[in-house]
Amino acid sequence: MRIQNVSVFSAQSEWRQFDSTRLYNSQNQLIAKTEENGDREKPIKKPKIKNKTAQLYIKDMVYGATDGIVTTFAVIASIEGAKLGTFAVLAVGFASLLADGLSMAASNYLAGRSEQAVVESNLHPKKDKVEERPQISAFFTFIAFILIGAIPLVPYVLPVSRPTILFPLSITLAIFSLFLVGGLRTRVTGSNFITAGMEMMLIGRGAAAVAYFIGVFIKSFYG
């Protein structure tokens, strides 16, 4: 009886060893196949910004510049569609640029103050301690809005002998700026530069096209 028990135990041990070896080999084959087919999970690329505080202000600048360029380009397109002339482009363009820039900066400031108040009142779970000053965020938003938003207006302040080329020059500058600003968004979002630039360029062109045809319609309706 003892000899039989020993034999059974030996058989069970050999089977377990065989089964473990087979499982190990199967796992190795699966890993090798996965690596060969390129199915290994790839890490998601994140923005290469180490300083979290700097990332916050870059975000304000990018979105301020985005709003500035789209808004000004649409205003110019609507005035050109209505054929109101260079003086109207300069007057309405710079007035809109300054007013919208101040409005956006004020909104950013008030939003930052409100967020701080919520955190301080313990109504919101505290995040990683990153100091964001609302007044600095508002300042960067305003500066980016004004500087980038003024780009489509540049041709209209230049001494050009043929006024008919002003709008095409403005379109060229605006499209290039839209692509660049859209690409710079990847510093915040971590997405592809070309894709983000093309997306922003299409959005800006779409907004300008709508504004232009509204100007054409109003001109034709009121004469």
Whether 197 contacts 182, CB under 8 Å: yes
**15: domain range?**
1-41
102 & 168 share domain: yes
Q: What is the pLDDT of residues 185-197, one digit of tens each?
A: 777 677 788 998 8
**pLDDT tens column, 3-37:** 344 343 344 444 344 444 444 455 455 444 545 55
Is 79 part of a structural domain of the chain?
yes
Same domain, 8 and 71: no
Judge if 25 and 75 occupy the same domain. no
Domain identity same for 163 and 197: yes
1-10, 100-109, 112-121, 139-148: least confidently modelled range = 1-10
Residue 46 lies in a domain: no
Q: Give the confidence band of 163 by pLDDT, cuts at 50, 70, 90.
A: confident
The residue-averaged pLDDT of 176-183 equals 90
Please tell me the predicted confidence (pLDDT) of residue 7. 43
Same domain for 33 and 11: yes
148: its two tokens: 């980038």
Same structural domain, 76 and 8: no
Task: Give the chain's domain count.
Answer: 2
Same domain, 59 and 131: yes
Of 126-130, 181-185, 195-199, which gets the smallest average pLDDT?
A: 126-130
Residue 131 is encoded by which pair of tokens?
Answer: 């100091």
pLDDT tier at 103 (50, 70, 90 boundaries)? very high
**Dist CA 57 CA 65 (whole Å):** 12
Residue among 105, 102, 184 at smallest CA distance from 137: 105
Taking alpha carbons only, the member of 190, 45, 44, 57 closest to residue 130 is: 57
Distances (CA, A) of 212 to 77, 95, 178: 5, 19, 17
Please state, in angstroms and rounded to a whole number, the distance separating the CA atoms of residues 126 and 183: 31
